[in-house]
Structure 1
């Protein structure tokens, strides 16, 4: 028996660009929602122009927007704006990512959409939220991490904070809170019939990633010292150590049983089993031992051992080990390409069946009904 995905029949109008909003609406689409994306005439979403390409659009755009539909609309043109407003009037969810005030000036703000669609779930994703002194400032992911203190809690030997490995604010503080709150708001609407305006401010939401620093301070432990906390370089149990061939080992042997087993494999002196007060000496000893051997040696030495320590893999190695899936049943297809696409965090029992889907070509704004089944 085939069951429909849980969001089948849900209509989502996506006015966002680049990453946080489009990834949020992708996850809704993966759960069955019908997503229509409104883009600028001509170029469309800026991400379409990125490289490398899959067909006419960038690979980045393709993996974030597969299975959606896209129409071009000049929102400064009253006729086209009014057509988009008609689409919003029939939508369950509207997602936008303009700076505060911009979408209102265009005539598509929450109150303007609510006037024609009282039950709409209207989700605004911004860097600093809809209100406050920073609301209209321009910034990107790195800026949000820097201003919230997160970027500076890990530093290298020169005291410099490294670049993060991915866009943490966009995804963890933008996309995921947007999806969570949209689903909660839909559940609330089921009970009350009322829609709402969701204010997703990425800087504020980053505080969740700093839960440990917050708890430590509230418990009287002070603020984090750069590179000196348990998970930021202050403990020999949780660090990255270089191997003899220029690779690295990630050690995360926090619990005593893992730490003792690792110490045995590394032949550390028994007095190092309690490293408190001698952290620097223990770090030096581990660095010397790991630095005397190659990554392949440590990969084999850790195999089958409960030491919470692994060689830092390249993406190529992660794919070969099956930890990164680039050839999934979900396919991204189009003229000249058929490739595995971005794995979805939506559980298999809750998402649309795997298949072949393309990314949307940018079509002209239609005159008639656009929602499937209407």
Structure 2
């Protein structure tokens, strides 16, 4: 384990004025790398404090998702509508390095806490604004959530499932990959630039903007003249039998990601796919039907060792509970951190920060 003083953000103070998922997860990552994070919440606390499940009873009850996202932060309740509260924020800003806010565009300005006002107090302040559609543009003030940002940018249409049973994305891709991660990346870049210039910056992080990265292959098809892909037609969204989901006899799923020819042929050999169906580009529907029939003939437990021996990019889909218990996950120590809650500790949320850059595993409230 690294020594505590090896964390790169030691000495950096972050003011966190965010709620729910994108901002709190971003500042959690900064805290994991050594930053002091002071989370500012309205009197009574932010909405996620009441998200279920709860641990404990009555006034002492703690929201588990809130605890996972806000471990190790200092929490202050300040009324931003009160002049005294705003003055307190101004005092905190004078010695802060970073401020992260997640209000709709214009709200912080109306409170007198916009970037121009606060950068006058602290020219080196890195001020990150996370919003759905950005600080400018005709949709800037429009309400939205993760699903809306994926819908607007065309990502949702690439793999929406059948119209009578459309598929909801399993992950908050826009919140995390469009909000959290760009915020962390840009904050770190701005801090590096500040070491040379002494100047802070206002970072406009729009969750919708970040979604277009995930359409790289669809954009390449459309912009390159191959036609704009519809749902299920893209290389990685359903057009190829070698990159698809198949049911087993016990209603589990096998995720086949055998894109390269060597993996596809290894997979075909492992399951006994007939030779005349192994060119899945020539006979996609026949190949898909045959693969589906073969995999449906045995249980997930029966297929697991066969696919593992073939090393062919085919994996039985795990539940979250199974994934946490996987020997590889245990060996990597992903859930070795702890969060203290009423009734006992729970595993901390794993974060994609290299062990050498974060603090040793400890229990955090």
Quote the Cα distance in structure 2 between the aligned partners of 1:271 and 1:159.
34
TM-score in terms of structure 1 length: 0.92
Deviation at 1:304, TM superposition (A): 1.8
Q: In structure 2, what is the equivalent of residue 340 of structure 1?
A: 347
- Write 1 or 2 for the structure with the bigger share of helix: 2
User: Taking structure 1 as reference, are residues 17 and 158 closer, same or farther at Cα in structure 2, changes over 3 Å only?
Assistant: closer
Could you say what secondary structure the match of 1:303 adopts?
helix
Quote the Cα distance in structure 1 between the aligned partners of 2:278 and 2:24.
49
User: Taking structure 1 as reference, are residues 188 and 175 closer, same or farther at Cα in structure 2, changes over 3 Å only?
Assistant: same
Q: In structure 2, what is the equivalent of residue 59 of structure 1?
A: 64
1:290-369 aligned within 5 A? 290-324=295-329, 328-358=335-365
User: Once the two structures are superposed, what CA deviation does each residue of 1:233-277 show, in whole Å capped at 9, x if it has no partner?
Assistant: 111101101112111111111111111111122222212222223
Q: In structure 2, what is the equivalent of residue 273 of structure 1?
A: 278
Could you say what secondary structure the match of 1:8 adopts?
coil
Quote the Cα distance in structure 2 between the aligned partners of 1:148 and 1:255.
29
Quote the Cα distance in structure 2 between the aligned partners of 1:329 and 1:282.
43
Q: Which runs of 5+ in 2 are unaligned?
A: none
Quote the Cα distance in structure 2 between the aligned partners of 1:276 and 1:187.
48
Measured on the aligned residues, the alpha-carbon RMSD in Å equals: 1.6
Tell me whether 1:10 sits opposite 2:3 in the alignment: no
Q: In structure 2, what is the equivalent of residue 24 of structure 1?
A: 26
Tell me whether 1:91 sits opposite 2:93 in the alignment: no
Quote the Cα distance in structure 2 between the aligned partners of 1:288 and 1:276.
18
Deviation at 1:224, TM superposition (A): 1.4
Quote the Cα distance in structure 2 between the aligned partners of 1:71 and 1:118.
24
Could you say what secondary structure the match of 1:337 adopts?
coil
Runs ≥4 residues deviating over 4 A: 157-160, 323-327
User: Once the two structures are superposed, what CA deviation does each residue of 1:128-170 show, in whole Å capped at 9, x if it has no partner?
Assistant: 0001110011110011111111111113344754111111000
Deviation at 1:329, TM superposition (A): 3.3
Deviation at 1:324, TM superposition (A): 4.7
Q: Provide the aligned length of Structure 1 versus Structure 2.
A: 357
Could you say what secondary structure the match of 2:38 adopts?
strand
User: Taking structure 1 as reference, are residues 160 and 133 closer, same or farther at Cα in structure 2, changes over 3 Å only?
Assistant: farther
Q: In structure 2, what is the equivalent of residue 231 of structure 1?
A: 236
Alignment check: 8 A CA contact 1:151 1:161 kept: no
User: Taking structure 1 as reference, are residues 269 and 68 closer, same or farther at Cα in structure 2, changes over 3 Å only?
Assistant: same
TM-score in terms of structure 2 length: 0.94
Could you say what secondary structure the match of 1:304 adopts?
helix
1:186-197 aligned within 5 A? 186-197=191-202
Quote the Cα distance in structure 2 between the aligned partners of 1:270 and 1:4.
56
